[in-house]
Amino acid sequence: MSYVDLNPVRAAIADTPEVSDYTSIQARIRAWSEGASEGAESSTAADEDADHSTGPPPLLPFRGPDRKDAPDHLPFAFADYLQLVDWAGRAVRDDKRGAIAEDAPPILIRFGIDPDTYLDRMGRRRPGFIRAMGRAERLREAATELGQHFVKGISEAKALFPASAG
């Protein structure tokens, strides 16, 4: 998956994964930056019932701290995948034209997420995010969409996704 997501970088068509057009990583990053749950991983009943014949099927979600044993999810967290792609994309290869610039900030920093805060929040025994992960305002919208008064994780979202980021 990371190999395919890095193809535009390796071909020197894009400088970083987030500007790599037509890749799943760009779609996930866009969904995340718009406040969707981690990497566009949550699905609603409307998504599941939707006819995807006119567009691509929904992306397989990543596992979060609350979905460690979910067989229908990719086996790691979205931020971990971002770091993997960022790390692999920095490797200079003689058989490829491009790589992520050595002086480019790490991907989590580019998105305004402090890696230490992320690791602290995701490593807790009782995770703050249960149904969705994202910016506080998007979690409030998700609660409304779900017919709830709140979605667990607002305080975690404020710590992880500062208002000034992205």
Query: How many angstroms separate the CA atoms of 65 and 78, rounded?
Result: 11
Range 20-28 average pLDDT:
91
pLDDT at 45: 34
**DSSP-derived secondary structure for 86-134:** HHHHTS--TT-S----TTSPPHHHHTT--HHHHHHHHT-SS-S-SS--S
pLDDT at 36: 52
Query: How many angstroms separate the CA atoms of 38 and 132, rounded?
Result: 7
Q: Which residues pair with 43 in a beta bridge?
A: none
Mean pLDDT of the chain: 76
